[in-house]
Structure 1
Amino acid sequence: MCGFVCLWEIEDGGGTLLAAMLSRLGHRGPDATRIARLDDAPVAMGHCRLAIIGAEDGIQPIRADAEMLVANGEIYNHADLRAILGAENFNSSSDSEAILRLFRGGAQRWINRLDGMFAFVLATPERIVAARDPLGIKPLYMARRGKGLAFASELKAFDGFGFDDIGAVPPGTLFDSRAGLRTWYRIPAGAGAAEPGLDIDAVAGELRLALEEAVAKWMVADVEVGSFLSGGLDSSLVAAIAQKHRTGAGLGPLKTFAVGTAGAPDLLAARRVADHLGTEHHEFTFSAQDIADSLAHVVYHLESADLDLVRSAVPTLFAARLARRHVKAVLTGEGADELFAGYAYHHGYADDPRALADELTRSLGTMHNINLQRVDRMTMAQSLEARTPFLDRDLIAFAQSLPAQLKLRRTDPASAEATGPTTEKWLLRRACRDLLPEDLIWRRKAQFDEGSGTVEALRQALRLLTGSRDEVDPGRESKLYRDILRSRFAEPEMILAQAGQWNANRIAA
């Protein structure tokens, strides 16, 4: 995981502009920082590196003859690509070099062969190419200055430096200075009702295999990978499969990390899961004062003042701080709610599986500047890589082919009849019911900020920050977050304009 800046046809004052921009991203990559230029091309690139794969020789920018690359993320099929493209053509053990070698092969849809989470910029003397992974797990922003272009991993790199038309490169999109934007990946449409006679056990079995393959793939690294563990279904299933993977590989127990206020339900549930799985478990208990002390840091790194996003970012930051003391990379459960209907509002779609399928597809496409932005910014603020195996490309394709009717099912878990209350993520629970105790498999979802105790602690923190004896209402809370953001950025409206909204274009139930 890394951060980068690239300038194309922009005068950078002998390197001062690029260096100043890159200094804003140092938290994303404390292991190495490097700036390079390409001969006979109007390009300068800077990269700050968190070494995960190819730690010894994977420093960037990566150069090959007249081409140069900076990248952020992980290419999980880099070993297969290396074998296909010829190991003798590679100069390093870095997974990112596979991007450059694929590009040099000249295939029309070369980018489609990359499997992972990534954002990159690649330059030749004649053109510049930039692209982002299918769901936008890794961030990528583009801006203009005169006729020139600039790219960066976070908005703060542009702040106050006189750039125009600042915006995100959309997920699954490739920009080519010669041809403009093109969408190279589209989220598969979700299925609605289940066809008659569907073998649910067989489908659940295939889902289990797809999930196990995804977790194993997303654990590939040259460093130890731990796991967030909130005690909820998603992170618990990821941790359970990851623990099995480590055990099968003859490695020590998985390191798991949970945070919450004293006595929070998530802390207690995570402890039970960790005991059941036999992980090496670590906890951090935070207070209202801890939140008050960290809120400005959260808003600055989050690059958003959205009320819901800030609330959920607080415990994510504490979890990242805890994990970074022990590992450089963690698995998370992000994406399961969007794939398998895990949010409370999804229950309103119980009688309309077609609308539910469409809503899940829509929400997958909006993750990049909501939940994925939260996870990326809060973990990278602590120089920690977060990995989201539920958003594996193969798993997305399989999950989207599954009937939404089986994801949110109007049935009691103990009954085969389609009556009773609706159960979210029903098929996922059924597929993994042997991994956890039954009461944890069927435990109702709580939002991370609720289960961790953040909601009540945040109320107290807001009173501390505002000096109010009364509870701070949502309107005043939102204003506080916007005021914090405005105090930290020279161009706050540019930052605020990029923020995602939880309810934008939601499909009607």
Structure 2
Amino acid sequence: MCGIAGIWGQIDQTSVKKMMDTLIHRGPDAEGMFVSPTKAGVLGHRRLSIMDPQGGNQPIYGDRQARVIVGNGEIYNFPQLLPQLAERFKFRTKSDTEAILHLYEDQGIESVDQLDGMYAFAIADGDKFFAARDPIGIKPLYYGKKDNAFVFASELKAIANFCDNVQEFPAGTFFSSETGFSTFYQVPDIQPEVDADADALIREVRETVEASVVKRLMSDVPLGCFLSGGLDSSITTAVARQHIEKLHTFSVGIEGSKDIKAARLVSQYLDTIHHEYLITPKEVQEKLPEIIYSLESFDQDLVRSAIPCYFTSRLAAEYVKVILTGEGADELFAGYTYYKGIPDNDTLHRELRRSVTSLHNINLQRVDRLTMAHSLEGRVPFLDLKMIELGQRIPAHLKLAGDPLVEKWILRKAFEDLLPSEIVWRTKEQFDEGSGTVDLLTQMLAKGMSEDEAQAYRQKHPEARLRSAEECYYHQIFMDVFEQPESILANVARWSERPV
């Protein structure tokens, strides 16, 4: 996992170096820069060494020295791509990023269709430039213009000082300097079979989740699991534990919180090497500016869930470099409470698909930023493309089922033999609720901003559509931690604004 930055259309090494320095947390292990010999542009890279730690530094060069890649992410089908590419190209590293470059050399811009993974990369090919972002937007990328040059970086904070108009590079999209932007992936729009065989789908869910987790165990450095004690992280941990003898798991919360207790139970049941950290109001208040700076958002729901994610990532980074998370299961299998209020299955099915397509700048942004703030790579098995396709085929009535309705019913059934029943059928709670963060914030925010102060603050910032005194407080911190917040503000997504 890494940070990338660059300017295509002019030579400006100073600006690229400044962007790279802003991204040092994404790649503390090494840095590299490519300056086009034809003066076409500059590519920069900060490296977090995961695959081929000794030999995989970037930029990586192709058969021609003017053909170069900088990349961020993991290509999970690298072992399958390697044999066919090795017949035609000489590999200089054991890095999966080199496979992207050779695939491009072999097939051009159509090469993205063969990549299975999470990624954002940029390729210099003589005077031509090519960039792409993974289908769901697991890995971040932003772009803008500076004196008609194309500027890009992994995080908003790195690019905000160089471009007035910064935009998110769309998920499932590539950019060619010759043809512009093109979409190569969209979440499948499938009408599920209402009378589908439930038992067969339960088996398929089990097999697909297991394959998705195993695929993401690829690593040349230590790997562990976030373990909140909820269903999704417990399933991910249970599958990983079958393949890793000494598996490290990580949990945070306030003393006596439900997540802490549940995570201990799962860890004991699965025999993992478990680590936990108890957070306090004082520490959260001290770290909140850093959390919001890392997150690049002031959205109330996102900040709340970012707080435990920050502390879990900090804890995990002491032991591992790669972490598996349960992100995406709620959107695929109807895990949030508000889904229960949707009046019919067809509408629920459409809302779940919309939820998956909107993850890139909400929950996936949180996972990426808070893990990478601690130089930790986060992987999300539930957002494997085969998992997403299967999720669209499963009828909504198998996701919310029973009386009263039970969220993620089919996912629970698929793994009810692998975990304690009190975990499998545990009531869904959001990360910030189960960890006790909401209770902790209530104590902390009593000293933050009063309702009267919040009302006055809203009047000063009507464009932000601030929902509460709590969100006003986060917005105030947001405005303080960024020197030039305007470009970042323009890209803040609002988790709460969900049309149904």
Unaligned runs of 5+ in 1: 247-251, 412-419
> Post-superposition shift, 1:505?
4.9
Q: Which amino acid aligns with 1:365?
A: T
Moved more, 491-500 or 132-141: 491-500
Query: Distance between the aligned counterparts of 1:121 and 1:89, measured in 2?
Result: 20
State yes or no: 1:101 paired with 2:102.
Answer: yes
Aligned residues: 486
* Aligned equivalent of 1:81: 81
TM-score, normalised by the number of residues in structure 1:
0.92
Match of 1:182 in 2: 182
Deviation at 1:68, TM superposition (A): 1.0
Of the three residues 439, 455, 458, the one matched with 1:456 is 439
Q: Which runs of 4+ in 1 moved over 4 A?
A: 468-474
User: Match for residue 32 of structure 1?
Assistant: 30
The secondary structure found in structure 2 opposite 1:424 is: coil
Match of 1:311 among 296, 304, 311: 304
Deviations 1:218-256 (A, max 9, x none): 11111121000000000000000000122xxxxx32100
C-alpha separation in 2, matches of 1:206 and 1:375: 27
1:365 maps to 357
- Correspondence for 2:43: 45
Native 8 Å contact 1:85 1:101 kept in 2: yes
Q: Is 2:240 the counterpart of 1:239?
A: no
Task: Sort the Cα spacing of 1:394 and 1:111 in 2 relative to 1 into closer, same or farther, 3 A.
Answer: same
Change (3 A) 1:182 1:115: same
Alpha carbons 1:462, 1:472 under 8 Å: kept = no
Give the letter aligned to residue 130 of structure 2.
Answer: V
Per the TM alignment, residue 109 of structure 1 is displaced from its structure 2 partner at its CA by 2.3
Q: Residues of 1 paired with 2:282 and 2:124: CA distance?
A: 47
1:376 to 2:368 alignment: yes
Q: Deviations over 1:203-232 (max 9, x none)?
A: 111110111000000111111210000000
Measured in 1, the distance between the counterparts of 2:273 and 2:243 equals 15
- Aligned mate of 1:200, from 198, 201, 208: 198
- Match for residue 149 of structure 1? 150
Picking from 423, 426, 432, the partner of 2:409 is 426
- Which residue number corresponds to residue 333 of structure 2? 340
Structural mapping, 1:94-493, within 5 Å: 94-106=95-107, 109-161=110-162, 163-192=163-192, 194-195=194-195, 198-246=196-244, 252-349=245-342, 352-409=344-401, 411=402, 420-465=403-448, 475-493=468-486
Partner amino acid, structure 2, of 1:240: A
Whole-angstrom CA distance in 2 between matches of 1:482 and 1:80 = 46
CA contact (8 A) 1:463 1:471 kept: no
Provide the C-alpha distance between the structure 2 equivalents of 1:321 and 1:432, rounded to a whole number of angstroms: 29
Q: What residue identity is the alignment partner of 2:6?
A: C
Report the AA paired with residue 74 of structure 1: E
Counterpart of 2:483, as a letter, is: A
Give 1:503 shift.
Answer: 3.7
Aligned equivalents of 1:390, 1:209: Cα separation in 2 = 12
Q: Give CA deviations for 1:162-203 in whole Å, capped at 9, x if unaligned.
A: x133101111011111111111001012445622xx332221
Aligned counterparts of 2:361 and 2:181: Cα–Cα separation in 1: 19
| CA-CA distance at 1:292 after TM superposition | 0.3
Deviations 1:36-88 (A, max 9, x none): 21222411111111111111111011112121111001001111111121255
Q: 1:4 maps to what in 2? A: 4
Q: Deviations over 1:439-496 (max 9, x none)?
A: 2111110010010000111122223455x79998962222221221111222212111
Residues of 2 paired with 1:153 and 1:371: CA distance? Answer: 16
Partner Cα distance (2:37, 2:81) in 1: 28
**Deviations, residues 298-330 of structure 1 (Å, cap 9, x unaligned):** 110101111111111000000000100110010
Contact preservation (8 Å) 1:191, 1:404: no
SS at match of 1:130: strand
- Give me the TM-score of the superposition, normalised by structure 2: 0.94
Q: Is the 8 A contact 1:10 1:145 kept in 2?
A: no
Calculate percent identity across the aligned residue pairs.
Answer: 46
